[in-house]
Amino acid sequence: MSDIVEKTLTALPGLFLQNQPGGGPAAAKSSFSSRLGSLVRGITALTSKHEEEKLIQQELSSLKATVSAPTTTLKMMKECMVRLIYCEMLGYDASFGYIHAIKLAQQGNLLEKRVGYLAVSLFLHESHELLLLLVNTVVKDLQSTNLVEVCMALTVVSQIFPREMIPAENSSGYKDLTGSFITILKQVVGGKLPVDFNYHSVPAPWLQIQLLRILRLLGKDDQRTSELMYDVLDESLRRAELNHNVTYAILFECVHTIYSIYPKSELLEKAAKCIGKFVLSPKINLKYLGLKALTYVIQQDPTLALQHQMTIIECLDHPDPIIKRETLELLYRITNAQNITVIVQKMLEYLHQSKEEYVIVNLVGKIADVLVLNTVDTYAPDNAWFIQTMNAVFSVGGDVMHPDIPNNFLRLLAEGFDDETEDQQLRLYAVQSYLTLLDVENVFYPQRFLQVMSWVLGEYSYLLDKETPEEVITKLYKLLMNDSISSETKTWLIAAVTKLTPQARSSNIVERLIQEFTISLDTCMRQHAFELKHLHENVELMKNLLPVDKSCEDIVVDASLSFLDGFVAEGLSQGAAPYKPHHQRQEEKLSQEKVLNFEPYGLSFSSPGFTGRQSPAGISLGSDISGNSAETGLKETNSLKLEGVKKLWGKEGYLPKKESKTGDESETPPIPQESTIMENVDQAITKKDQSQVLTQSKEEKEKQLLASSLFVGLGSDNTISLLGKADTVSHKFRKKSKVKETKSGEMTSIHNITCSSFSSLSNVAYEGDYYLNTLQDRRDKEFKKFSLNSELLDSESLAELHLVEKLSNCSLSTPSLFDDNNMEIFHPPQSTAASVAKEISLASSLLEETTEYIHSNLIEVCNNETVSVSSYKIWKDDCLLMVWSVTNKSGLELKSANLEIFPAENFKVRQGCLDGIHHFFHSDVLALWFRSSCSTLPDYLLYQCQKVMEGS
């Protein structure tokens, strides 16, 4: 190390010499070195400030040109920096050069670097944005082998870098140094340092204090480390006996450390004695520090305060406000139910005396803290005192206090304590006291206080027995007409009036108020006034809307507007287009404008190609797409260009089969985009491939099947998922972790769909049946054929009546069919069932558009003379569909059908994707309406169901 220093030192004169005349061509040198000189001389020769400005501006513009010129060498740059610093020092803006200063610090040789760092440290401050650019340079220089560079970097770090950029705050990484620090402290305390370091014959007090602080950080909450330092702390306490300020400084630090580290009773005792010395000292500075030390330790050792209670009481009335304040701080920390009245009294006294805003804010916060924030069991002895104290706090600190304080106070008032009658009394007292306060003439209350008052009066005036609501309104009205009141407070006031209006019998004042404020220039006030006006016209509504004493009860708002579901379903069943959000429509419109419209008209409901019912498959898929996010809409058209479009229309017109494919394709592209979090980039590719393959022919089915079963093997839940677009859904509503969870198989969604009653025209009780065995056999076969994983089989081969499927992979479930509670069960022979199924499958031809997907056979779930219900599954490349078809065998008109799906557990598992199912029956169409947070889902199921109904 020393040789490096030596080398550097020997090199330095040379570096400096370069700048001296004679080190190179004299003319060039002098031109550079004297520029600053001539600038300074020029400035001093000027006679007016105006001339100076002119000169500097000229100088700055020439400098600007020089520094940004590419030909400028670093040496010239160094010279420019010096002049820039000079200009900046004179108060002119040289910010254009900051970045060049950083560059110079980055790139220059030793001397240039030094000037660069100097300029940087003078130009920038710790919150300057360019500082980030310097970080790398500094880090590099800190690691340099050249000591001078390290020093420069350290200097600049200490000068301008903010504390949080210097990561040395966490002490846990330095525990191993404890021993060294202790040794150093021992040596210092033992007087082993040269006398030079003594300060008034105390050895190196600054070093001692620093070491004690370091030990405090290291020993905090760490018994083992703390044990190491007990000895040296004890010694420090003993050695510091001299009656001099600096020894007290050390003692104070020592006591603080002893109370901060893991405690040792012996040391604590000594420290307590030491604190006593401070507190009892006649020197006021020491007394102050004694009080300060007490506030540190009081929580650990409350008895210490008792020992010094007389001193503390004396200090409370000390002429020096600082001592008083520190005493209050101490008292604040020992507040309890017994002493609160006195302590708050003292605090209020101090509060009334102090004028400084910072003190007021601080103290008001503390009083409120004692009174309100610890409301779990407030220490307040009685109502009157509590309200009066709060009144005092609000009147003094109302406009500067933290907004939490009034909020917490109001909440306390509204929520109350355990005792209801007590609460009412508190509120009544508050109302009464505020009314009295408002009666006082010519007193101005802070706005916050007025807001609190207006809320309380609006809410709890009904508790009054003497004053009528009219009187309260009159008072509020008077305030409203007061010019000194802010418009924010006025809205509080008008809200209070609104609350009181339904309780008032006569409403002259309210009408006057309405008249007054409906023409107000303040739009907010005007709006409130109009609201009041309209409510005032409908008293019943007003009473419903503003119930008395219900502030704590949450208003239940049906944000999903479920009460309109019936209306919507009716509209849909009569052929209305489903709602698309505005942004989506916009998006679709945009995307249509951007590219040629390859989108089949069938996708849009308003298309002329489709009159009447909207049932064809394409529409359901179309709506499905439309339910996706806006990006999907965009993607859709993009992907639609790819293939299979031509075949959408044939001689016969629209070919729904193809359309469904394109629909599917369009669903796939967004997946990789949205699911960057997923691990399955390759999977996405596979999917794409798959979707391309899809259009080819029926032969491809096998491949598709293979692919989907592969996905199952991969543990992806995307491949088979009943509940519509599982992928998009999951990405929309869940973060990655949850998706993973799903995959881990935790997610077992249970659809416990129970058809409890299914009544036909004849009102014959519906008799249903499961014959699970049949079902299971069939399914077994199907599944084997489809080589789906065995988990499905296991879970499905349930003997229980509730058919609960646990499909860990697809998180989907099939209906649990009919619950037996409500039905009589009969077991038809298997063959019948099969034949019926066949018939049905013929009749509905398995919904044409889905036929090219792998599907299970149609299975009759239950039947009677009039109706039969059957179901089958369709495996699509990205989801699994359950289709239920209801067939009317009687030829009679089906008037109503009841499908009840118990929502609670059924849908919860899919993170609230479905939260309810609604149904609607119209002519022979059974409309199912799922209300869910997933926009794609309801429409989709609805149309599937409609299709089934029509097909049958």
Partner 1 sequence: MQFMLLFSRQGKLRLQKWYVPLSDKEKKKITRELVQTVLARKPKMCSFLEWRDLKIVYKRYASLYFCCAIEDQDNELITLEIIHRYVELLDKYFGSVCELDIIFNFEKAYFILDEFLLGGEVQETSKKNVLKAIEQADLLQEKTENMYHSKSFIGCKKAY
Q: Return the range that interacts with partner 1 (CB under 8 A); candidates 66-74, 203-211, 469-477, 800-808.
A: 203-211
CB of 339 to partner 1, least distance (A): 23
* Under rule CB under 8 A, residue 563 binds partner 1: no
Q: Return the range that interacts with partner 1 (CB under 8 A); candidates 121-129, 370-378, 610-618, 865-873.
A: 121-129
Residue 378 tokens read as: 């407030």
Q: Return the range that interacts with partner 1 (CB under 8 A); candidates 198-206, 381-389, 710-718, 720-728.
A: 198-206
Which of 89, 86, 141, 94 shows the shortest CA–CA distance to 113?
141
Binding residue for partner 1, selected from 13, 65, 68, 199, defined by CB under 8 A? 199
- Write the DSSP symbol of residue 646: G
Binding residue for partner 1, selected from 7, 54, 125, 838, defined by CB under 8 A? 125
Nearer to partner 1, 2 or 127 (CB): 127
CB of 243 to partner 1, least distance (A): 13
* Under rule CB under 8 A, residue 323 binds partner 1: yes
Residue 542 tokens read as: 């007003």
Nearer to partner 1, 32 or 601 (CB): 32
Cβ(453)–Cβ(439) under 8 Å? no
Residue 73 tokens read as: 């060498």
Nearer to partner 1, 347 or 720 (CB): 347
Nearer to partner 1, 35 or 657 (CB): 35
Which of 303, 279, 305 shows the shortest CA–CA distance to 290?
279
Total of residues contacting partner 1 (CB under 8 A): 36
Cβ(817)–Cβ(900) under 8 Å? no
Binding residue for partner 1, selected from 99, 246, 710, 764, defined by CB under 8 A? 246
Residue 14 tokens read as: 């040379």
* Under rule CB under 8 A, residue 892 binds partner 1: no
Q: Return the range that interacts with partner 1 (CB under 8 A); candidates 40-48, 480-488, 634-642, 774-782.
A: 40-48
* Under rule CB under 8 A, residue 320 binds partner 1: yes
Q: Return the range that interacts with partner 1 (CB under 8 A); candidates 244-252, 263-271, 531-539, 838-846.
A: 244-252
Q: Return the range that interacts with partner 1 (CB under 8 A); candidates 34-42, 735-743, 831-839, 858-866.
A: 34-42
Binding residue for partner 1, selected from 47, 48, 73, 127, defined by CB under 8 A? 127
**At how many degrees (to 10) do helices 830-844 and 936-951 cross?**
100
**At how many degrees (to 10) do helices 284-297 and 321-333 cross?**
20
The Cα–Cα gap between 401 and 405 comes to: 7
The torsion region of residue 123 among left (phi > 0), alpha (psi -120 to 50) and beta comes to: alpha
**At how many degrees (to 10) do helices 700-714 and 681-694 cross?**
160
CB of 205 to partner 1, least distance (A): 7
* Under rule CB under 8 A, residue 9 binds partner 1: no
In this structure, what are the phi and psi dihedrals at residue 753, rounded to the nearest 5 degrees?
Answer: -90, 125
* Under rule CB under 8 A, residue 37 binds partner 1: yes
Cβ(717)–Cβ(742) under 8 Å? yes
CB of 46 to partner 1, least distance (A): 11
Nearer to partner 1, 313 or 892 (CB): 313
Which of 40, 21, 37 shows the shortest CA–CA distance to 29?
21
Nearer to partner 1, 217 or 710 (CB): 217
* Under rule CB under 8 A, residue 372 binds partner 1: no
- Write the DSSP symbol of residue 746: I
Q: Return the range that interacts with partner 1 (CB under 8 A); candidates 314-322, 573-581, 890-898, 928-936.
A: 314-322
The Cα–Cα gap between 679 and 184 comes to: 55
* Under rule CB under 8 A, residue 241 binds partner 1: no
Binding residue for partner 1, selected from 22, 25, 319, 608, defined by CB under 8 A? 319
What character string, x for contact with partner 1 (CB under 8 A) and - otherwise, covers 264-293?
Answer: --------------------xx-xxx----
Give the strand pairing for 653-654 and 753-754: unpaired
Give the strand pairing for 925-931 and 824-825: unpaired
Nearer to partner 1, 245 or 787 (CB): 245
- 716: exposed, middle or buried (Cβ count in 10 Å: 0-12, 13-18, 19+): buried
Nearer to partner 1, 196 or 540 (CB): 196
> Residue written as tokens 């010019």?
483
Binding residue for partner 1, selected from 9, 17, 28, 40, defined by CB under 8 A? 40
* Under rule CB under 8 A, residue 45 binds partner 1: yes
CB of 328 to partner 1, least distance (A): 11
CB of 678 to partner 1, least distance (A): 48
CB of 49 to partner 1, least distance (A): 17
* Under rule CB under 8 A, residue 397 binds partner 1: no
* Under rule CB under 8 A, residue 33 binds partner 1: no
Measured in whole angstroms, the distance separating CA 115 from the mean position of its chain's CA atoms is 46
Measured in whole angstroms, the distance separating CA 319 from the mean position of its chain's CA atoms is 49
149, 185, 386, 473, 523 from 495: Cα distances, Å: 67, 67, 26, 11, 15
Q: State the Cα angle at 830 between 825 and 836, rounded to 5°.
A: 90
Nearer to partner 1, 114 or 687 (CB): 114
Which of 405, 479, 508, 564 shows the shortest CA–CA distance to 920?
564
What character string, x for contact with partner 1 (CB under 8 A) and - otherwise, covers 140-179?
Answer: ------------------xx--------------------
CB of 166 to partner 1, least distance (A): 12
Q: Return the range that interacts with partner 1 (CB under 8 A); candidates 52-60, 315-323, 338-346, 395-403.
A: 315-323
Binding residue for partner 1, selected from 36, 147, 209, 464, defined by CB under 8 A? 209
Give the strand pairing for 859-863 and 900-901: unpaired
Q: Return the range that interacts with partner 1 (CB under 8 A); candidates 322-330, 656-664, 697-705, 833-841.
A: 322-330
Binding residue for partner 1, selected from 99, 122, 142, 249, defined by CB under 8 A? 249
* 751 three-class SS: coil
Give the strand pairing for 867-875 and 854-855: antiparallel
> Residue written as tokens 């104070």?
252
CB of 252 to partner 1, least distance (A): 6
Cβ(291)–Cβ(309) under 8 Å? no
* Under rule CB under 8 A, residue 27 binds partner 1: no
The Cα–Cα gap between 457 and 788 comes to: 69
What sign results for the dihedral spanned by CA atoms 561, 562, 565, 567?
negative
Binding residue for partner 1, selected from 253, 769, 819, 852, defined by CB under 8 A? 253
Contacts of 352 (CB under 8 A, 6+ apart): 396
Measured in whole angstroms, the distance separating CA 585 from the mean position of its chain's CA atoms is 29
Nearer to partner 1, 20 or 744 (CB): 20
Binding residue for partner 1, selected from 117, 252, 711, 758, defined by CB under 8 A? 252
User: What is the per-residue DSSP string for 894-935?
Assistant: P-----EE-HHHHHHTTTTS--EEEEEEETTEEEEEEE-S-T
The Cα–Cα gap between 690 and 668 comes to: 10
Cβ(722)–Cβ(910) under 8 Å? no
Nearer to partner 1, 347 or 476 (CB): 347
* Under rule CB under 8 A, residue 130 binds partner 1: no
Nearer to partner 1, 82 or 359 (CB): 359
Q: Which of residues 328-367 bind partner 1 (CB under 8 A)?
A: 358-359
In this structure, which amino acid lies at residue 609?
Answer: G
Cβ(259)–Cβ(296) under 8 Å? yes
Question: Which residues contact partner 1 by CB under 8 A?
Answer: 37, 40-41, 44-45, 125-127, 158-159, 196-197, 199, 204-207, 209, 245-246, 248-249, 252-253, 284-285, 287-289, 319-320, 322-323, 325, 358-359
